[in-house]
Amino acid sequence: MVNLNEYDFATLAVRAGWWDADPQTGAVAPPISQTTTYAFNKVEDMVKIFSSGEFSNRYIYTRASNPTQNILEERVAALEGGEAALAFGSGVAAIVALITLLVQSGDHIVTSNSLYAATQFYFRNILSKYGVKVTFVDATDPDNVAGALNENTKVVYMETPANPTISLVDIGAIGAIARGRKVTTIVDSTFASPYLQHPLDYEGIDVVLHSATKYIGGHTDALGGIIIGKKELMDKVRAYSLINMGGIIDPFAAWLLLRGIKTIHLRMERHCTNALAVAEFLEAHPKVERVYYPGLPSHPQHELAKRQMKGFGGMIAFELKGGVTAGTILLNNLHLCRMAASLGDTDTLIEHPASMTHNELFVTREERLSQGITDGLVRLSVGIEGVRDIIADLQQGLSIVPSN
């Protein structure tokens, strides 16, 4: 039995879940278990599994579990310091499966008002159809969360750093508020990655969630989502939601995420150093109105970021003085920075939330503005390229933007 506490994060990123070479072939890389179905020799064995509902203890059907998937789950659980993890086909699939287990008609959710757009859409437009009430609050002030709780509250859901405003939530304070109440507290830590932040270290936090598509995979080649928490809860989500709703991860995608996560510690260090340099450049530029990056002393939660994060991450948001027109000109004239909706990639990616990821298909303009997502906000996912090249591309793009 491997004692995970004996190993550094970097070692766990490379080896957790697959400590030894393949016993049959000696292969160093884990296999891709590209199968849907698993055979049994005795009727009694198969009946026992189906009767008990313990689908994590024996492979039956890949909709329930898969060997490659399970290696990924063990690795991410080790990196987050959780008892167990459960992987899905996307981050949204993970959110829906978890929340579906936790709430029913008449229940209440308290959540931060700055969220990934698809999460917002699910909370605002889908859960309401089934009688679940969701209260959105400015969670940068923990008192707002405490004030929104009521006797029917079953879930407190936070995103930190938030997408796309890069605002932070005090994880320890939220955990303290939730502690002792019959609520499940969930932290979406996608922007931080397991390398920079460990929400489960805080008492009162039950589940940490990631869109594994982003920094865990890191190479824009695999979709995935993952939740981490107590094994009892993960088993319940597997038996209730994953098997019956089908938001499964493909074995090949799980294998790609395993390959990507081996370098997460190296990539995140570079993301952080590059992003700080880019943020400092943008803050000093005369055509930039404001920069939102936790590593800058000007960020209102800079001190909080220093307390609860190992580094400040690779995500930046900024406002141009010329608003949405200036942003359009900038994005249309970049060459190295790729215009794309995703984030957390080795490549630098840039997008305009108001017209792209947070447009009115997902959230209304009023809702968006209430979250601080202005018409001119630009989101930048800083990659691991040479930072001088990233800055040079932004410099030439900004040079085309008219001065006010």
Q: Which of 63, 230, 236, 310 is an active site residue?
A: 63
Is 238 known to be catalytic?
Answer: no
Q: Are 234 and 86 spatial neighbours (Cβ–Cβ below 8 Å)?
A: yes
Residues 6+ apart with CB under 8 A from 20: none
330 closest CA partner among 293, 285, 277, 295: 285
Is 130 known to be catalytic?
Answer: no
Is 8 known to be catalytic?
Answer: no
Q: Are 38 and 47 spatial neighbours (Cβ–Cβ below 8 Å)?
A: no
In b/e form, how buried is each residue of 108-117, taking b as 16+ CB within 10 angstroms?
A: bbbbbbbbbb
Q: Which of 170, 188, 250, 393 is an active site residue?
A: 188
Residues 6+ apart with CB under 8 A from 41: none
Distance CA 200, CA 129 (A): 31
Q: Which of 214, 238, 267, 368 is an active site residue?
A: 214
CA angle, residues 24, 12, 249, in degrees to nearest 5 = 70
Q: Which of 116, 202, 292, 293 is an active site residue?
A: 116
Is 214 known to be catalytic?
Answer: yes
Distance CA 45, CA 5 (A): 35
What amino acid positions are annotated as catalytic residues? 63, 116, 188, 214
